[in-house]
Chains A and B, each alone.
Chain A
């Protein structure tokens, strides 16, 4: 039996790797699009019109009216790019911790012949529930799009879509077990699972209102599309890295644990004997 400490450490390592990959992806793919959007914001500022779309207040979060345009006095663009990289590593590690806990709890319920495939499966569910569903309800927007007046409303919509995604991810396996108790065949049960999941997703997408914002006229549709694809690509890269690296690490750890358990046969199956080390890491 593998200890939680060793699972957690592998989650953190996989999360850090995922964060680094997503930082690299942002730098190579997302930043060029953000730069194009910032040019539009600056053009607005120069023409004295929309003031960069930044000043203003929302019902929930107050954004000071003095907030500079990007590249302004408060934070330089370089700092913003580095800050973005650090943020994505932090986000990766946080996702790694959550991933490790959920994997430990749900391991025996995840489909897959080995821990590697279970890990990839969990990452796929995570991508669908936490990334894809919110992205369909309220797609990512580059700078220069986004009305400060509605940021609170959009944030609630985003969080709501995310929570409903998690709810669906929890409810469908419950339905699956309920159907299994009724003795349905595998094929019937899985078909009903898929139908139920699709109905739930469609309901969420149809019932939740879309973004209240109107994309400004000076933002080309190309740029918007490019940014949304880049954003989804970055998140997909993060989830794929998280699932793959965690799967590789955990599969090896479980194999090593099994070997040491096997060599120490006859003794009590002590948890976390040699290779894994102290579980009290954090």
Chain B
């Protein structure tokens, strides 16, 4: 925002700031990350079978409470 007029000298701050190109696979990775968050925070039997969901639910229990995610 501030350095709108580019300085001609190749000083360290001269290069206009651009976003870093994000490849397509990165969005898939982002989806995996969001899914991981869902999985450890919300999985209450919606995807896994009852037994393994229960196990996961109890294992992540303390972190979920600490993270402020609603819990039973």
Q: How many residues of A contact B (CB 8 A)?
A: 79
- Whether A141 contacts B63 in the complex (CB less than 8 A), given A83-B58, A107-B17, comes out as no
- Report the tally of A-B residue pairs with Cβ distances under 8 A: 184
Provide the bound-state CA to CA distance between A269 and B64, in Å.
46
Whether a CB of chain B sits under 8 angstroms from the CB of A196 is no
A125 at the interface (CB under 8 A from B): no
Interchain CB contact under 8 A, A80 and B59 = yes
Of chain B, the residue at the smallest CB distance from A154 is B70
**How would residues 28 to 68 of chain B score, 1 for a CB under 8 Å from any chain A CB and 0 otherwise?**
01101110110011101110001000110111111111111
Q: How many Å from the CB of B13 to the closest CB on chain A?
A: 8
Q: B63 contacts A91, CB within 8 Å?
A: yes
Residues of B within 8 A of A158 (CB): 68-70
Q: In the complex, are the beta carbons of A58 and B68 less than 8 A apart? A: no
A200 contacts chain B at the CB level, 8 A cutoff: no
In the bound complex, how far is the Cα of B68 from the Cα of A184, in angstroms? 40
Complex alpha-carbon distance, A140 and B62, angstroms: 12
Question: Which of chain A's residues has its CB closest to B23's CB?
Answer: A4
Taking CB atoms, residues of chain A closer than 8 Å to B65 are: 30, 34, 140-143, 227, 231
CA of A151 to CA of B30, assembled, Å: 27
Whole-angstrom distance between the Cβ of B12 and the nearest chain A Cβ? 6
Query: Is the CB of B18 closer than 8 A to any CB of chain A?
Result: yes
Residues of A within 8 A of B (CB): 1-4, 7-8, 22, 26, 30-31, 34, 53-54, 56, 58, 60-64, 67-68, 70, 74-75, 79-81, 83-88, 90-91, 93-95, 97-98, 101, 103-109, 111, 113, 131, 134-135, 138-143, 146-148, 151, 154-155, 157-158, 227, 230-232, 234-235, 255, 258, 262, 265, 282
A-B contacts, 26 of them at CB < 8 A, read A1-B18, A60-B46, A63-B44, A63-B45, A63-B57, A75-B61, A83-B58, A84-B60, A90-B36, A91-B63, A93-B33, A97-B29, A103-B20, A106-B19, A107-B17, A107-B18, A108-B18, A109-B19, A140-B67, A143-B71, A146-B70, A146-B71, A151-B71, A154-B70, A157-B70, A235-B67
